[in-house]
């Protein structure tokens, strides 16, 4: 294992998610930031890079330049990972170029601007056989791992029903008409793609329910709403979903649920019991076994009742809360294992648990389906 060198595309001044990616990458001391092209505005990029104590030579004018120059550096010096944290419409091109030049990629969600790009990215990853991760952060939490593990091991029996929701209130007003960059690009179909809330957070919800249950959404029926006047993309939606093995459920997202923060919540019910996890109390997992008191499972390296899978994603003893950055860091750390393995040309069966390009592609197909269903008012297969 070596400490990996990372270059970042996007994440300049004003970006929220770029800073989080950096916190997460650094936290476990397995990755260091060595270069970046943080903004199409080179001045912004330089300022950002300097604040991050980068060598000025490795603050690049463009990602093209970064990929080109870095790929010519000595193997021990050049970046080992490209982290892409730009808005959706700027995912595809740098990802392809990075892969074409032999760089493993970790990229924010949704995977791409549209599903055509996503499909091509799957092909490119398969062709290059390079490590590739999509940061569906929420599945990085230890207690989400525990939920998946319990279900896999049959603890709640055959699954019957799911409910997943992701309500936010931050776009209750026309925030895109202020100078809020986050709001602007997320509500602009030229940057965000054809979906608003369904792309930004609906893909998280869909990924979560497939990850935890281990089952895929087969078809869905949706009603999407553009609630705030003048907005160009839907900001709210209610969806019925049918999953493999006869599982039925619903999925709800909103960016206009006034007063809500960011409380992704999943419930799964099986023949023997149910589980419940929500982002507002991420270190807790409720386990509800039929006929028994509900149990409060808690993250913590000392909670020996947890699965090894969950334990390997905890850093602190129980009662020392881990949060969003740590969940993010779990993806970076697991990805760093895969990259180290790749660099050492190992070809073993070890499983590195992080969201893959295929999961990213499913997210794009989810977007297609949820929009088509709402337009035509009929059930659509994914």
Q: Kindly identify the residues of this chain, within the stretch 114-173, that bind a copy of itself according to CB under 8 A.
A: 156, 160-161, 163, 165, 167-170, 172-173
Instruction: Pick the piece of the chain touching a copy of itself (CB under 8 A) from 6-14, 190-198, 289-297, 354-362.
Output: 289-297
Q: Which of 306, 282, 273 is nearest to 208 (CA)?
A: 282
Instruction: Pick the piece of the chain touching a copy of itself (CB under 8 A) from 6-14, 37-45, 124-132, 298-306.
Output: 298-306
E-strand ranges in 200-292 read 217-225, 236-243, 247-254, 265-270, 273-278, 284-289
CB of 196 closer than 8 Å to CB of 92: no
CB of 202 closer than 8 Å to CB of 166: yes
Three-class secondary structure of residue 278 per DSSP: strand
Supply the minimum distance, in Å, between the C-beta of residue 62 and a copy of itself: 23
Does 244 bind a copy of itself (CB under 8 A)? Our answer is: no
Supply the minimum distance, in Å, between the C-beta of residue 337 and a copy of itself: 14
Q: Kindly identify the residues of this chain, within the stretch 47-76, that bind a copy of itself according to CB under 8 A.
A: 52-53
Does 263 bind a copy of itself (CB under 8 A)? Our answer is: yes
Backbone angles phi, psi at 176, to 5 degrees: -70, -15
Separation of CA 288 from chain center = 27
Q: How many residues are listed for the chain in this entry?
A: 382
Q: Which of 61, 71, 126 is nearest to 97 (CA)?
A: 71
Of residues 141 and 361, the one with the C-beta less far from a copy of itself: 141
Three-class secondary structure of residue 37 per DSSP: strand
Of residues 126 and 280, the one with the C-beta less far from a copy of itself: 280
Binding test (CB under 8 A) with a copy of itself, winner from 44, 62, 238, 312: 238
Separation of CA 309 from chain center = 19
- Which DSSP letter does residue 108 get? P
Supply the minimum distance, in Å, between the C-beta of residue 107 and a copy of itself: 19
Of residues 22 and 78, the one with the C-beta less far from a copy of itself: 22
Of residues 84 and 257, the one with the C-beta less far from a copy of itself: 257
CB of 111 closer than 8 Å to CB of 363: yes
Supply the minimum distance, in Å, between the C-beta of residue 211 and a copy of itself: 19
Binding mask 307-326 for a copy of itself (x = CB under 8 A): --------xxxxxxxxxxxx
Of residues 189 and 319, the one with the C-beta less far from a copy of itself: 319
Binding mask 12-51 for a copy of itself (x = CB under 8 A): ----x--xx-xx--xxxx---x------------------
- Return the biggest CA–CA distance within the chain: 65
Supply the minimum distance, in Å, between the C-beta of residue 224 and a copy of itself: 9
Supply the minimum distance, in Å, between the C-beta of residue 246 and a copy of itself: 8
Report the C-alpha gap between 218 and 227 in whole angstroms.
28
In order of 59, 73, 86, 131, the CA distances from 355 in angstroms are 29, 29, 18, 11
Exposed/middle/buried for residue 296 (C-beta within 10 Å: 0-12, 13-18, 19+): exposed
Supply the minimum distance, in Å, between the C-beta of residue 115 and a copy of itself: 24
Does 269 bind a copy of itself (CB under 8 A)? Our answer is: yes
Does 346 bind a copy of itself (CB under 8 A)? Our answer is: no
Binding mask 179-218 for a copy of itself (x = CB under 8 A): ----------------------------------------
CB of 333 closer than 8 Å to CB of 314: no
Does 230 bind a copy of itself (CB under 8 A)? Our answer is: no
Instruction: Pick the piece of the chain touching a copy of itself (CB under 8 A) from 82-90, 111-119, 191-199, 286-294.
Output: 286-294
Scanning 28-84, the segments in alpha helix (DSSP H) are 42-51, 63-70
């Amino acid at each position: 294992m070596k400490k990996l060198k990372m270059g970042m595309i996007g994440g300049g001044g004003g970006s929220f998610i770029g800073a989080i990616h950096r916190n997460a990458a650094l936290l476990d001391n397995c990755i260091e930031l060595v270069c970046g092209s943080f903004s199409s505005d080179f001045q912004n990029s330089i300022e950002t890079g300097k604040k991050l104590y980068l060598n000025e030579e490795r603050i690049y004018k463009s990602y093209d330049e970064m990929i080109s120059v870095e790929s010519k550096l000595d193997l021990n010096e050049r970046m080992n990972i490209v982290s892409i944290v730009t808005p959706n419409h700027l995912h595809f091109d740098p990802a392809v170029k990075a892969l074409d030049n032999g760089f493993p990629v970790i990229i924010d969600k949704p995977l791409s601007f549209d599903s055509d790009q996503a499909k091509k990215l799957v092909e490119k990853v398969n062709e290059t056989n390079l490590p590739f991760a999509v940061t569906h952060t929420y599945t990085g939490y230890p207690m989400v791992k525990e939920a998946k593990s319990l279900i896999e091991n049959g603890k709640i029996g055959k699954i019957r029903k799911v409910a997943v929701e992701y309500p936010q209130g931050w776009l209750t007003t026309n925030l895109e008409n202020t100078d809020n960059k986050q709001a602007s690009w997320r509500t602009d179909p030229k940057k965000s793609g054809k979906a608003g809330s369904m792309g930004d957070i609906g893909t998280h919800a869909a990924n979560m329910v497939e990850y935890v249950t281990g089952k895929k959404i087969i078809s869905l029926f949706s009603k999407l709403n553009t609630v705030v006047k003048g907005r160009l993309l839907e900001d709210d939606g209610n969806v019925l979903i049918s999953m493999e093995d006869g599982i039925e459920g619903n999925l709800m997202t909103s960016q206009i649920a006034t007063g809500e923060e960011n409380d992704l919540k999943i419930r799964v019910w099986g023949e023997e019991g149910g589980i419940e996890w929500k982002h507002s109390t991420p270190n807790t997992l409720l386990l509800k076994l039929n006929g028994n008191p509900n149990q409060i499972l808690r993250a913590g390296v000392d909670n020996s009742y947890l699965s090894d899978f969950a334990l390997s994603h905890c850093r602190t003893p129980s009662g020392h809360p881990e949060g969003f950055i740590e969940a993010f860091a779990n993806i970076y750390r697991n990805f760093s294992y895969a990259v180290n393995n790749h660099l050492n040309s190992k070809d073993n069966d070890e499983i590195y648990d992080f969201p893959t390009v295929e999961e990213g592609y499913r997210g794009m197909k989810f977007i297609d389906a949820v929009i088509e269903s709402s337009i035509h008012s009929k059930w659509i297969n994914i």
